[in-house]
Structure 1
């Protein structure tokens, strides 16, 4: 199709005859009625918003249709009861959230299809808090859609900064909106909303329970605290579950140990091993720089806490030539030949050391607790 043909088709689509030489172009006024474009009309303001024949005319706002609750007081009262019921359910769910802390023990496991085995406490907390928040949101939405004013009000775009007149107008509109919302007149909705909003923050207060009770001296001691020179505790190899002898540990080796009597069948095994885990190295006595550290060991065998003093990660990387132990989490590096002092990284304290010796059978034993609290530093570190 050539340019003239395309122009002819375009002119025909616009409702006018092709403009050939010697022919007059038909205007909108002398165009037949069936070819004229409809005039744009603003239904909300009752005046034309664009010139005749503008295909992109603003149709204006649709005619406002009242809702059932606007013309039927019984429907409005029913909606009010529905909104209030949602707020009441929110209050009950918040009470249930708080009660869950009392009813369900922290280690209670239940089977729920299709989730499987889950914590009863976590499930109860999630459901009750979810219902409490959902009902507040759903009640507010239902209130706005059924009882608050829904008249459409167009507004022209304006600068971000408002002048005094606009600010005064906004305040006036806020007051008008507050009056139209019925917040002051519909006391049932107001009181139940205030009640639900007042109770929900209590959920956060109850969560503070997880921060207690206070540790008191629990962070100062480990499972080795019961060891005494008269009743020492044997060191058990973490891999073989067998007592360890001094001759089993060679120079340059790294071995992990735990106190005698601690088994994986213990319900609190993970909690205890997080403090009791040992890291044993054997260094030639002449290479040990710190004399007090050498005295706590036995023939060059030194027992340090395996728990990093930064954030509590387990240390498992050892360099034989330099006697450096590296924490894989944040690269804190400890010199085990010099009292496990920190030579690099964010850790703030050396690794605590355990005093060890051998019993009459040659097994390695501990005669006391660590020299200082193990793990990350805390606000009342006692050493």
Structure 2
């Protein structure tokens, strides 16, 4: 540290540079770099071309959204044709992808070519501003609208509105596929009736081998389907019927079962059978934990207690798994006493 008598200022010697820097001199504001005008700022024709490009992209987005809706109708998935399902997914996905991509590219091109690109400095305020400050904010929004051209460039603004509104339509259309809308094909009625009926043999999935009660050991779990399902072909809706009728059967000590009076004869010597269709969103419940007697749905981790009428003990499922009443025939083979007494599958199907 040394004192400069000629100027009356303190100077500090920095070994790295070997220079004496004045402590009293403030750091100079370097300012902003020179602003470089864009082509669209100086050439009205270029600005017009950019505007046409932007609203063309937005209208392409509208067309892509409309195509996604049309693809849903042109390639229906209700006929269960694998080709139609693949085309449905492909063309709807492409339509939605192009709709959103065109909006994104158009918005970026708009900001890069036509919106104001001048640098601005805004002071930060730690407290609520005064009325003058709030009025200044309103003025800032007005200025931003003017500089972006949002209110002035009607073609861009209107095409953007149309693109955003149209981009929602494919999503709304896809809700149509959640369930039939006609009264004859009510989801509740469709899921309340399965192929199980009185005397229907329980068979292994997928071999179709009948199951004797003596073959079911303590702690074992069997994936079960109705015997008559094997007589159906794929064209007869076999997969749909299997999806409703699939069952998981386990055996545990009878004294560990908690059963209400009306359900005491629904099991046989500790053997119980429950629908494999999760009551949350319909995933197959296929993981059995022998020590806790819990069934686990791998999709969203709902857990059901087999020892207590498959009640929900964890996860988002809202009701127990439906139980299939079972018994044995004269030869000791396991058979169903009836169909399920309630709809299988997700609970939202029961909302009319």
Give TM-score scaled by structure 1 length.
0.67
2:31 is the alignment partner of 1:64? no
Superposition RMSD in Å: 4.1
2:145 is the alignment partner of 1:178? yes
Shift of 1:121: 2.5
Structure 1 residues 354 and 176 mapped into 2: Cα distance closer, same or farther (>3 Å)?
Answer: same
Are the aligned partners of 1:304 and 1:354 in contact in 2 as well (CA < 8 Å)? yes
The correspondence of residues 79-228 of structure 1 with structure 2, limited to 5 A, is: 79-106=50-77, 119-159=86-126, 161-213=128-180, 214-224=186-196, 227-228=197-198
The structure with higher relative contact order (CA 8 Å, sep 6+) is: 2
Q: Which runs of 5+ in 2 are unaligned?
A: 1-12, 181-185
Q: Which runs of 5+ in 1 are unaligned?
A: 1-6, 17-26, 29-50, 111-117
Q: Deviations over 1:201-259 (max 9, x none)?
A: 223322322432251312222221xx34xxx3222133753223455456776544321
Distance in 1 between residues matched to 2:15 and 2:248, nearest whole Å: 90
Distance in 2 between residues matched to 1:317 and 1:10, nearest whole Å: 71
Are the aligned partners of 2:205 and 2:224 in contact in 1 as well (CA < 8 Å)? yes
2:339 is matched with 369
1:77 is matched with 48
Are the aligned partners of 1:235 and 1:257 in contact in 2 as well (CA < 8 Å)? yes
Shift of 1:160: 5.1
Distance in 1 between residues matched to 2:200 and 2:54, nearest whole Å: 66
Structure 1 residues 239 and 68 mapped into 2: Cα distance closer, same or farther (>3 Å)?
Answer: closer
Distance in 1 between residues matched to 2:110 and 2:261, nearest whole Å: 76
Structure 1 residues 10 and 296 mapped into 2: Cα distance closer, same or farther (>3 Å)?
Answer: closer
Give TM-score scaled by structure 2 length.
0.72
Match of 1:304 among 273, 298, 303: 273
Distance in 2 between residues matched to 1:350 and 1:88, nearest whole Å: 49
Structure 1 residues 168 and 318 mapped into 2: Cα distance closer, same or farther (>3 Å)?
Answer: same
Distance in 2 between residues matched to 1:184 and 1:288, nearest whole Å: 69
Shift of 1:102: 1.1
Structure 1 residues 184 and 265 mapped into 2: Cα distance closer, same or farther (>3 Å)?
Answer: same
1:258 is matched with 225
1:115 is matched with none
1:241 is matched with 208
1:335 is matched with 307
